[in-house]
Amino acid sequence: MASGDEFKVPRIKLGSQGLQVSAQGLGCMGMSAFYGPPKPEPEMIELIHYAIDRGITHLDTAEMYGPYTNEILLGKALQGGLREKVEVATKFGVRLVDGKREVCGDPEYVRAACEGSLKRLGVDCIDLYYQHRIDTRLPIEVTIGELKKLVEEGKIKYIGLSEASASTIRRAHAVHPVTAVQLEWSLWSRDVEEEIIPTCRELGIGIVAYSPLGRGFFSTGPKLLENLAEGDFRKMKLAAVLSLKLLYLSVFASASIRKYGA
């Protein structure tokens, strides 16, 4: 097939505030962190360019990925005029303090994190800026208030939340419209369907599902665990999830046998 005839991922509206993105996004986290050792930079830049060429322009990163190195990688990939072709989403809210992860939503940190991300990404404005995790030590209104200022100053265009409860989403949205909520949603992560998904739909907030293929399990199967590199956090994550799923199936099967007979 000629290059001009290659399939392009269609574009959609994300939320109701005006943001348009590709229907499929590219999560860049595993290029630099958590999924084993960092991958070779030239290969990852080539991968990002390949995605953009095929219409995947919604690129997702975070301050915590590395930390910092994933944003730097994405910034390098967008050099040479590609910035205007993509929607850049990044996140703040999880930082390292004395070697330990800390969730933080303090206004001073929010502003400093934004400035750091702008510099590492090499952009003047972040298209979609998420609070990565909710800081329960202070009201969500305080954090969103600072994000609202960053929107007014032109440093970010749209506000997002990641892994937030339905009540937190409502409170945040009352301060400034939330464009998107990012959450894990797949065949084995469906608890969000009870309250969070309906809340987002009611408020006109877009939903960005991460790990829709169960962190690779649904595309690879059980053998995925055998092939993961050392340091890949999915080894523990998936092993725990699989144990719970098997336990559930065992209990369900036993209950069915008692009710209906063997």
Q: Which residues are catalytic?
A: 65
DSSP assignment, residue 133?
Answer: S
**Calpha distance 39→32 (Å, rounded):** 6
DSSP secondary structure string, 16-52? SSS-EEESSEEE-HHHHSSBSSPPPHHHHHHHHHHHH
Across the chain, where does the E strand assignment appear?
Answer: 11-13, 20-22, 25-27, 58-60, 87-92, 94-97, 100-103, 126-131, 156-162, 180-184, 206-210
CB 134 within 8 A of CB 161: yes
